[in-house]
């Protein structure tokens, strides 16, 4: 169940620029608090939602590498 929610969360993070807060995304996915969502997301992807979103915004490989380090 957690895996399914986190797979869906990746799409939600991509849509975050549409004005949805991380708290709203976490609640939509069944989390009661943002910190639990961030913890699970980082365990699943290796990145925080914020870093994951930054990664999606950049085209440059060098910039992406800087973000994940």
Q: How many CB atoms lie within 10 A of CB 49?
A: 21
pTM score = 0.69
CA distance 12 to 61: 23
The residue with greater pLDDT, 1 or 66, is 66
User: According to the model, what pLDDT value does residue 35 have?
Assistant: 92
Per-residue pLDDT tens over the stretch 10-62: 666 666 656 678 888 888 888 888 899 899 888 888 888 888 877 777 777 67
């Amino acid at each position: 169940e957690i895996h399914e929610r986190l797979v869906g969360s990746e799409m939600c993070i991509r849509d975050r620029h549409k004005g949805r807060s991380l708290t709203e995304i976490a609640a939509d996915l069944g989390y009661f608090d943002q910190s639990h969502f961030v913890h699970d997301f980082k365990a699943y992807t290796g990145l925080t939602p914020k870093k994951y979103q930054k990664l999606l915004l950049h085209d440059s490989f060098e910039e992406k590498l800087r973000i994940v380090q």
